[in-house]
Amino acid sequence: MITQLPILQVVIPLIAAPLMVLLRHGTAAWLLAVGVSWASLAIALGLLSEVAGGGLVSYALGSWPPPWGIEYRVDSVNAYLAVIVSMVAAVVVVYMRRSVAEEVPQEHHYLFYSMYALCLAGLLGIALTGDGFNMFVFFEISSLATYVLIALGRDRRALMAAYQYLIMGTIGATFFVIGVGLLYLMTGTLNLADMAARLPDVTDPRPVLAALAFITVGVSLKLALFPLHLWLPNAYAYAPSAVTAFLAATATKVSVYVLLRFYFSVFGETAVFRALPTGSILLALSLAAVFVASVVAIFQGNVKRMFAYSSVAQIGYITLGVSFDSATGLTAGIVHLFNHALTKGALFLLLGGIALRAAAMRFDDLRGMGRLMPLTSFGIVLGGLSLIGVPGTVGFVSKWYLVVAALEQGAWWIAFLVVAGSLLALAYVWRFVEAAYFHAPDPKMAAGPGEAPLSMLVPAWLMIAACVYFGLDTGLTLGGAGEAAQVLLKGKW
Amino acid sequence: MVTGATAIILALAVPSVGAALIACAHRAPNLRETVTLVTATILFAVVASIAPEVLAGARPQARLLEVMPGLEIAFTVEPLGMLFALVATSLWIVTSLYSIGYMRGNHESHQTRYYACFALSLASAVGIAFAGNLFTLFLFYEALTLITYPLVTHHGTDEARRAGRLYIGMLVGTSIVFLLVAIIWTWTVAGTIEFEAGGILRGKTSNTTIGGLLALYIFGIGKAAVMPIHRWLPAAMVAPTPVSALLHAVAVVKAGVFTVVKVVVYVFGVDAIAGLKSVDWLPFIAGFTIIAASIVALRSDNLKRRLAYSTISQLSYVVFAAALLTPLSVMGAALHIAAHAFGKITLFFAAGSIYTAAHKTQVSELDGIGRRMPWTMGAFAVGSLSMIGLPPAVGFVSKWYILSGAMASEQWGAVAVLVAGTLLSAGYLLPIVYRAFFVRAAAAGAAHEAHGEAPLSIVVALSVSALATVALFLFPDTLLALSRQLAGTG
């Protein structure tokens, strides 16, 4: 059974998706989705414990031994990622029931859950597969499902946002597959570990460089690295609340993983960071992401969009950690992957509660929310503090490591920029605080229902509680990230 | 017998539990206020129970958890922290008493939130006082800023919101951009952030780095209100007076100067940086703040604003004393934390008392008010004496040591600043006392007929704090013993 875990991780949600379509029943599909998500979490945790301490699990699909067949290759890096994805899924799926019931037409419910299962399968597939082309396939599976999920948003602009994302996402995927194709051309293999072993023997470096460029740009589109982030704000703002929370916490994180995997495990740290100015480029773009996106966030009129821009900035912090190309920097980036997934997932879940009342999500609609929905509002404040990086929250842990990583390299000006970015976060988080707590509620709103339903509040607060818990007890998150960083820097997969 | 470690945990837990109970009792105001008073009393008892150990030379410790490798939430009670905790917790009892009269007398809203936040801010202040390393200190420092935000913006008006922006923006801003970087830098340079007698940076890095780090600390600790990081303090005066009294004369601002002294003594080491060229700018900045803030105070007609600028000026005495880098002046710095707290809280109490009874906020309206409110203005006079540094008030003791330090090390410029500061503080405080008692209320005199003294709990509270100001002058033994231990002159 243990040996089958890697494939079960992917196949269970993959099979559940068509089953849901056959069921044609919203509630049944939801129950199935809950089962699938929780099973995924159990499997991911099983895998993580299996590979803890530098272990490696290799699974040959259809018993075709690698490098001929497709291999699923799990080490502590992607096991950690699978845990993040399935953990978020396990929480969000509980929340979905009420939120989707409010935001998506009844007749589409089973399709919604089916798409959600597909998306989950795709994301987990990307995480676990050790095969370049298979990775592309899962990219497409998750992306196509995502386009549909976004388009199901009740705002008509959701259609446009989904279309925008479709165009950008397709360009990204195409770039990615071109890159993988070039690598296949030069090495004759699609198995990533095998590819890494053969790359040093390639005599003509130009196609390999081109492959690196294509993959970098393609994946950067997917992970919304500034300035390739333009699809993200609209997609997050207009998608159904549960979808935004799920995507914000998982999709971009998985793409970051792909970038890390290719940089460190396929091309190798030397080729990417020593021979090329990748580090400096990444550094510049990351800092630009932090500042430009944060400033834009401050001036948004729509709360969801504001936090979407904040996501772009926070992704900047993740890639900033990567750009240092050091153990500390990589640890900072990877731990922020987890921390930001938690924080932003929680925030979007809570915003979903507000969306029940004020669909437009404009700041004006938030007046008096502190009184109308005290738990939701206070949760958002706590999540916001984590974005700022106040000690006692997960955001602080990430920031601490980023600053240490910067100072290690003697780059004190980067250290200052990192913390200065927090001030911008303070500015946009405080807009929420002032809107929610300094105005009397609109009488129209006050007449509406009170707090968000428990089935939404409990999952959201679970994640907020985790934001604080993992801000104080970092053994698991930081330990996992540190180990992942070590594995990546070792180079061999 | 409660051991030191348990007492430390209790000192954090008591106000936190108190806050929860206060929140639970929101429908029963009398019960709620009783909970506040009982919590404050228990907290003081717990904190005081640690004092004998510390005075005997022990350093009780408590370790909670390791957040990151090498970063612990840990507490160590040393003399300076003991002193700060004693001051803050004893004055909380008095302030609670005062709050009851003030909040009811002025029909303030959201009183439950007020009392709960107050309790939590005391928990944060105790956390700062007992912090065993920079990380723990930073954690509670930020917590204190955030938990006092609802108190500063208590009235929810546009003015309160703007003040709140300034408050959060400046305090969180400076702490993240300067203080956090300074702490992490210290960590990478010294390899530890535990407070240690003699300083952890001693011999670890170049003099230039020391200078840079000191600048980051001084401007990062915005709560110390060294110019130009002082604007938040007068803005925060928009809060109800008890908040201004306890937080912006005692807990918050003292947390700032406490941190400065703590960093100078335990991170840099007084004798390790004495005489360094790269740190000799600090007395100038602090001295400038003393003089400049006093001049602004002199020109303010609004009573609370005048007191706020007086606070800025007096806080810089502490920073200034620490910056003189002599054992005697460090002793003076520690003493002044306590001395200013008792004197200034009395002044704020009096200002709030005047507002409650007479609804007056301007100095120019106070002619003859001493006849109507003899207790209030009598206490105000005592507080003023302490601010100026005259006997029989405790302010004299701390000024004495600061001056002795300056003279002993022959820093005549410093002596001049101290003398000028003293004259200026006499200049902005004594005229108020004079007006109140010796100027007859002129045309507006009829207005005075309408009121007498403030509510009883207010009068009791300000009399107690005024008495304490005198008592500490007469019996300064505990304060002296603690500050001697800190400065190593005992």
Find chain B residues with C-beta within 8 A of A391's C-beta: 135, 138-139, 142
User: Are residues B68 and A474, on separate chains, in Cβ contact within 8 Å?
Assistant: yes
- Interface mutation target, options A418, A472, A477, chain B, most CBs of B under 10 Å: A472
Q: How far is A474 from chain B (nearest CA, A)?
A: 6
Question: How far is it, in rounded angstroms, from Cα B375 to Cα B456?
Answer: 11
Q: What is the pLDDT of residue B2?
A: 62
User: Are residues A391 and B165, on separate chains, in Cβ contact within 8 Å?
Assistant: no
| Residue ranges of chain A whose CB lies within 8 Å of a chain B CB | 385, 388-392, 397, 399-401, 403-404, 407-408, 412, 415-416, 419-420, 422-423, 426-427, 430, 434, 437-438, 471-474, 478
**Domain's final residue, options A276, A304, A336:** A276
Among candidates A385, A392, A437 on the partner chain, residue whose Cβ is nearest the Cβ of B139: A392
For residue A398, give the chain B residue with the closest CA. B68
- A85 and A53 in a common domain: yes
Which of A28-32, A61-65, A472-476, B97-101 is predicted most confidently? A28-32
- A261 and A295 in a common domain: no
- A305 and A240 in a common domain: no
Could you tell me the residue range of the domain that residue A139 belongs to?
1-276
Q: How far is B378 from chain A (nearest CA, A)?
A: 39
Model confidence over A394-421: pLDDT tens digits?
A: 999 999 999 999 998 888 899 999 999 9
Among candidates B68, B142, B187 on the partner chain, residue whose Cβ is nearest the Cβ of A397: B68
| Burial (Cβ within 10 Å: 0-12, 13-18, ≥19) of residue A32 | buried
Parallel, antiparallel, or unpaired for β A57-60 and B61-68? unpaired
Which H/E stretch holds residue A392?
none
Three-state SS for B174-192 is HHHHHHHHHHHHHHHHHCC
- Residues β-bridged to residue A72: A59, A129
Q: What is the pLDDT of residue B449?
A: 55
Q: What is the pLDDT of residue B450?
A: 63
Q: How far is B161 from chain A (nearest CA, A)?
A: 7
Min mean pLDDT across A1-5, A46-50, A402-406, B45-49 is at A1-5
Instruction: Give Cβ neighbours of residue B27 (< 8 Å, ≥ 6 apart).
Output: none
Q: How far is A317 from chain B (nearest CA, A)?
A: 16
Whether ipTM > 0.90 holds is no
- A293 and A236 in a common domain: no
Q: What is the pLDDT of residue B1?
A: 46
Buried b (16+ CB within 10 A) or exposed e, B33-50: bebbbebbbbbbebbbbb
Q: Which of B276, B436, B253 is nearest to B345 (CA)?
A: B253
Distances (CA, A) of A215 to A136, A181, A262: 11, 10, 8
How many domains is chain A built from? Answer: 2
| Residue ranges of chain B whose CB lies within 8 Å of a chain A CB | 65, 67-69, 71, 73, 135, 138-139, 142-143, 146, 153, 156, 161, 165, 168-169, 172-173, 176-177, 180-181, 184-185, 187-188
User: Are residues B177 and A412, on separate chains, in Cβ contact within 8 Å?
Assistant: no
Find chain B residues with C-beta within 8 A of A437's C-beta: 156
Predicted model pTM: 0.91
A285, pLDDT greater than 90: yes
Instruction: Assess contact for B111 and B155: CB atoms under 8 A.
Output: no
pLDDT tens digits in sequence order for chain B, 490 residues long = 467 788 899 899 999 998 988 888 888 888 888 888 899 999 999 999 998 888 888 888 888 888 888 888 999 999 999 999 999 999 999 888 888 888 887 787 788 888 889 899 999 999 999 999 999 999 999 999 999 999 888 888 888 888 899 999 999 999 999 999 999 999 988 888 899 888 888 888 888 888 999 999 999 999 989 888 888 888 888 888 888 887 778 889 999 999 999 999 999 988 888 878 888 898 899 999 999 999 999 998 888 889 999 999 999 999 999 988 888 888 899 999 999 999 999 999 898 888 888 888 888 888 888 888 888 888 999 999 999 988 888 889 899 999 998 888 888 888 899 999 999 999 999 989 888 888 877 655 445 556 778 788 888 888 899 999 998 888 888 888 888 888 876 5
- A167 and A238 in a common domain: yes
What's the angle, vertex CA A261, arms to CA A259 and CA A263, rounded to 5? 65
| Residue A17, helix vs strand vs coil | helix
- A265 and A285 in a common domain: no
Number of Cβ pairs < 8 A linking chain A and chain B: 74
Question: How far is it, in rounded angstroms, from Cα B71 to Cα A476?
Answer: 15
* Single-letter amino acid, residue B327: P
Q: What is the pLDDT of residue B179?
A: 93
- Banded model confidence at residue A89, pLDDT cuts 50, 70, 90: very high
Find chain A residues with C-beta within 8 A of B116's C-beta: none
Instruction: Give Cβ neighbours of residue A121 (< 8 Å, ≥ 6 apart).
Output: A10, A11, A12, A13, A14, A17, A138, A141, A142
- A199 and A335 in a common domain: no
Find chain A residues with C-beta within 8 A of B169's C-beta: 423, 426-427
Model confidence over A116-125: pLDDT tens digits?
A: 999 999 999 9
Find chain B residues with C-beta within 8 A of A401's C-beta: 68
Q: How far is A124 from chain B (nearest CA, A)?
A: 29
Min mean pLDDT across A179-193, A230-244, B56-70, B377-391 is at B56-70
- Interface mutation target, options A396, A426, A473, A478, chain B, most CBs of B under 10 Å: A396
- A48 and A92 in a common domain: yes
Among candidates B135, B173, B184 on the partner chain, residue whose Cβ is nearest the Cβ of A404: B184
Q: Which of B342, B311, B128, B148 is nearest to B227 (CA)?
A: B311
User: Are residues A400 and B184, on separate chains, in Cβ contact within 8 Å?
Assistant: yes
- A143 and A219 in a common domain: yes
Q: How far is B476 from chain A (nearest CA, A)?
A: 37
Token pair belonging to A37 = 């998500």
Distances (CA, A) of A216 to A135, A165, A221, A223, A324: 15, 18, 9, 10, 17
Q: What is the pLDDT of residue A355?
A: 86
Q: Which of A174, A185, A180 is nearest to A221 (CA)?
A: A174
User: Are residues A407 and B180, on separate chains, in Cβ contact within 8 Å?
Assistant: no
User: Are residues B172 and A472, on separate chains, in Cβ contact within 8 Å?
Assistant: no
Q: How far is B177 from chain A (nearest CA, A)?
A: 5
| Residue A72, helix vs strand vs coil | strand
Q: Which of A124, A233, A139 is nearest to A178 (CA)?
A: A139
The average pLDDT across A250-258 equals: 93
User: Are residues B165 and A430, on separate chains, in Cβ contact within 8 Å?
Assistant: yes
User: Are residues A416 and B177, on separate chains, in Cβ contact within 8 Å?
Assistant: yes
User: Are residues B188 and A407, on separate chains, in Cβ contact within 8 Å?
Assistant: yes
Among candidates A416, A419, A478 on the partner chain, residue whose Cβ is nearest the Cβ of B68: A478
**Domain's final residue, options A276, A296, A319:** A276
Q: What is the pLDDT of residue B275?
A: 78
Q: What is the pLDDT of residue B33?
A: 86
Q: What is the pLDDT of residue A190?
A: 92
A332, pLDDT greater than 50: yes
User: Are residues B181 and A474, on separate chains, in Cβ contact within 8 Å?
Assistant: no
- Interface mutation target, options A335, A474, A478, A483, chain B, most CBs of B under 10 Å: A474
Instruction: Give Cβ neighbours of residue B284 (< 8 Å, ≥ 6 apart).
Output: none
- A447 and A360 in a common domain: yes
User: Are residues A419 and B165, on separate chains, in Cβ contact within 8 Å?
Assistant: no
For residue B149, give the chain A residue with the closest CA. A433
Find chain A residues with C-beta within 8 A of B139's C-beta: 391-392
User: Are residues A438 and B156, on separate chains, in Cβ contact within 8 Å?
Assistant: yes
User: Are residues A472 and B65, on separate chains, in Cβ contact within 8 Å?
Assistant: yes
User: Are residues B181 and A400, on separate chains, in Cβ contact within 8 Å?
Assistant: no
- A330 and A244 in a common domain: no
- A475 and A357 in a common domain: yes
Q: How far is A470 from chain B (nearest CA, A)?
A: 9
